[in-house]
């Protein structure tokens, strides 16, 4: 089997599996308890928090563990909107967990302003900034597109947004950017930032919401006061330790240069072998959104699967939808959207797998 849907989820690293096994056997104590074995578990959690914070350029106190990025995005948007009468600014390129939360706010009476995308999938900067005013309470802008890999410069945009309105809260979904772009939140004006473990070789069910230490937000869950009284409930110790292990493993195994070479090979070879093809992603991206005019993405996906090659047709969270909202916002034609697939490379992807993919796609599309 050749797995090329890493933007949906990733294979768990061997190091993480060992961490999970060890944790389940030895770290089953409740970290809130006061006896020594429990305090040792608490110390391991503190070390994990520190490791993840270091990877983000943040302080350990700014790391809040969640059940995943969907929860983090929902929490950030709902609690980041501090003034009910204020407006919210976002883009048409957001992940469904952000986009649907924004639509829910809109349905509840909040003014939500969506900025269009450029043809390369990034937000239209001038329009985006023009939507922000003195009444803007929250800005939510994805760092890197889960559909195309397009990168928004959140360091620059967060600073420019705060120049227009210093009181607004700036949130970014950083799931597809974490550890791939060298994110340093200390040098930005970003207040809230969401990441997920299972996109970097960790296990499902654990994520992080970075919260700038100067920002106060409403608690998500009340109870025993865990996570600085913001998200009560006994912590997912195994998931948290596995997340930290995944960060270390990803930094060890992810070869950006190799990924870029494989991505370039796929793009160049497909362009040479297939007519009426459009690649919607940046050069050298590990996420490749590719459109085949006049074809059907579900058929391409099924025929590749029959050859043992697994790819996506877009966001796994929106896989049941019949259209692609992000590609539509980029101006991709309907016939191309219907024939769009998403190939996403991972740490374990090889050039030989890329060759097999290209050969199979060429055969399927030119048949």
Q: Hey, which residues are catalytic here? A: 317
Tell me if 300 sits within 8 A of 364, measured CB to CB: yes
Helix (H, G, I), strand (E, B) or coil at 266: helix
The phi and psi torsions of 31 (rounded to 5 degrees) equal -65, -10
| Residue whose structure tokens are 């995943």 | 68
Residue 309 has which token pair?
A: 């090659």
Q: How many C-beta neighbours within 10 Å does residue 301 have?
A: 19
179, 250 Cβ separation under 8 angstroms:
yes
Cβ contacts of 108-114, under 8 Å, gap ≥ 24: 110/81, 110/84, 111/87, 112/87, 112/88, 113/87, 113/88, 113/89, 114/90
Residue 89, strand partner residues:
113, 139
User: How far is it, in rounded angstroms, from Cα 299 to Cα 277?
Assistant: 16
DSSP sequence for 9-78: --PPPHHHHHHHHHHHHH--S-TTS-SHHHHHHHHHHHHHHHHHHHHHT--GGGEEEES-HHHHHHHHHH
Cα–Cα separations (whole angstroms), residue 203 to 3, 67, 210, 352: 17, 11, 19, 27
The distance from CA 2 to its chain's CA centroid, rounded to whole angstroms, is 22
Q: Give the Cβ contact number of residue 50 at 10 Å.
A: 16
H/E stretch holding 210: strand 207-211
Residues 262, 345 contacting (CB under 8 angstroms): yes
Q: Are 85 and 224 in contact (CB under 8 A)?
A: no
């Amino acid at each position: 089997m050749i797995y090329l849907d890493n933007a949906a989820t990733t294979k768990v690293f061997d190091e993480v599996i060992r961490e999970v096994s060890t944790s389940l056997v030895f770290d089953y104590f409740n970290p809130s308890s006061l006896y020594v074995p429990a305090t040792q578990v608490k110390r391991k959690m503190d070390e994990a928090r520190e490791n993840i914070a270091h990877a983000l350029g943040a302080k350990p106190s700014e790391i809040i563990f969640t059940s995943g990025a969907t929860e983090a995005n929902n929490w950030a948007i709902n609690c980041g909107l501090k003034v009910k009468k204020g407006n919210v600014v976002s883009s048409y390129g957001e992940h469904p967990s952000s986009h649907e939360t924004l639509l829910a706010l809109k349905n509840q009476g909040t003014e939500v302003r969506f900025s269009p995308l450029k043809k390369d999938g990034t937000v239209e900067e001038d329009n985006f900034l023009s939507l922000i005013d003195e009444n803007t309470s929250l800005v939510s802008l994805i760092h890197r597109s889960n559909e195309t890999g397009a990168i928004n410069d959140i360091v620059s945009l967060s600073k420019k947004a705060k120049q227009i309105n210093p009181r607004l809260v700036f949130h970014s979904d950083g799931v597809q950017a974490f550890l791939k772009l060298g994110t340093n939140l200390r040098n930005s004006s970003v207040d809230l930032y969401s990441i997920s473990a299972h996109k970097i070789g960790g296990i499902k069910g654990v994520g992080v919401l970075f919260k700038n230490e100067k920002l106060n937000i409403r608690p998500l869950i009340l109870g025993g006061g865990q996570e600085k009284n913001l998200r009560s409930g006994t912590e997912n110790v195994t998931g948290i330790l596995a997340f930290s292990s995944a960060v270390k493993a990803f930094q060890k195994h992810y070869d950006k240069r190799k990924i870029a070479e494989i991505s370039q090979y796929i793009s160049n070879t497909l362009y040479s072998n297939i007519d009426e093809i459009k690649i919607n992603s940046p050069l050298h991206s590990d996420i490749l959104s590719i459109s085949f005019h006049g074809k059907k993405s579900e058929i391409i996906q099924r025929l590749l699967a029959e050859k043992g090659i697994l790819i996506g047709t877009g966001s796994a969270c929106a896989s049941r939808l019949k259209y692609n909202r992000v590609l539509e916002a980029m101006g991709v034609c309907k016939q191309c959207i219907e024939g769009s697939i998403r190939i996403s490379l991972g740490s374990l992807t090889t050039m030989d797998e890329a060759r097999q993919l290209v050969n199979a796609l060429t055969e399927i599309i030119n048949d």
